[in-house]
Amino acid sequence: ADDDLQLPSGRSLNVSNVNGSTSELSIANYHAFGCSWTVNGDDRLILAADGVCRDPNAVPWCETKPESRKEVEEFCGVIRNATGPFAVCHSSATPDSFYRHCILDACSKNGNFRFGCSAIRSYQRQCERRLRITLGPTFIECSNDPCGEFSPCFQGVTCTYDTSLFPPYSCGSCPSGYLGDGHSCVDIDECGDASPCSNVVTCQNTPGGFVCPSCPSGYSGSTKTGSGIQDATTNIQTCSDVNECS
């Protein structure tokens, strides 16, 4: 009928008020229609008093898991973060409703952050339209191409796009001379953690490796360079005293 609203499931929602008049449409039904199309296509949702679309018969998963809700709030908080990637948007696009919907979407899926990305992307699109700018990959966890130009992995580490993961990527091993998970890699101080150089020279730690300078005058031996603890402990520099009297 002309006075019906189509829901995502294909079901129609009659918008007449209780008197059957179409001149004054039911506000509650309009809210239900709006919620059905904004939150994962769920016909059961209504607009709650806090401005969030909710299933009135469901106990939100996050309310039974305080620690998980805190994690969801931190994840979705990127929308409202005054120093975050969307800070430039706040004066033109109010973030609060998107923040609430992000929490609802993630909590409705047992705290799965992936489902909060829809609200984050929606906020980004609204911001870009209003400010007529392109923000680019502002939040890697929700990026459709996390291994693109702005790879989240450490420099030189292979990034692999994997939709079965969240965030949807994995990082390879850290380069030789570094420790970490591939996302973050910290330089190993081979000079401090091992003793790769002769005691008559000063070991120099370098990014990803170390250098043992040439042996000083009166000693024979060569410069040594290496990378990693194994190299620093198995191939130690030797500076031998030269017997000038022989």
- Burial bucket for residue 244 (CB in 10 Å: 0-12, 13-18, 19+): exposed
Tens-digit pLDDT string for the chain (246 aa): 444 555 555 555 554 443 444 433 344 455 555 665 554 545 555 555 455 566 655 556 677 777 778 888 888 998 999 988 899 999 999 999 899 888 888 887 777 777 888 888 889 889 999 998 888 666 767 776 777 756 778 888 998 888 777 677 889 999 999 999 998 899 999 999 998 999 999 999 999 999 999 999 999 999 999 999 999 998 899 999 988 776
Q: What is the identity of the amino acid at 4?
A: D
Residues with Cβ within 8 Å of 43's Cβ and at least 6 positions away in sequence, in order, are 7, 8, 9, 11, 32, 36
What's the pLDDT score for residue 133? Answer: 87
Q: Is residue 104 a contact partner of residue 120, using CB atoms and an 8 Å limit?
A: no
What's the pLDDT score for residue 188? Answer: 93
Q: Is residue 97 a contact partner of residue 50, using CB atoms and an 8 Å limit?
A: no
What's the pLDDT score for residue 235? Answer: 84
Q: CA-CA distance, 139 to 69, in Å (whole number)?
A: 20
What's the pLDDT score for residue 238? Answer: 93
Q: Is residue 235 a contact partner of residue 190, using CB atoms and an 8 Å limit?
A: no
Q: CA-CA distance, 13 to 134, in Å (whole number)?
A: 37
What's the pLDDT score for residue 20? Answer: 44
Q: Helix/strand/coil (H, E, C) string of the chain?
A: CCCEEECCCCCEEECCCCCCCCCCCCHHHHHHHHHHHHCCCCCCCEECCCCCEECCCCCCHHHHCHHHHHHHHHHHHHHCCCCCCCHHHCCCCCCHHHHHHHHHHHHHCCCCHHHHHHHHHHHHHHHHHHHCCCCCCCCHHHCCCCCCCCCCCCCCCCEEECCCCCCCEEECCCCCCEEECCCCEEECCHHHHCCCCCCCCCCEEECCEEEECCCCCCEECCCEEECCHHHHHHCCCCCEECCCCC
CB atoms within 10 A of CB 35: 24
> How would you classify the pairing of strands 169-171 and 159-161?
antiparallel
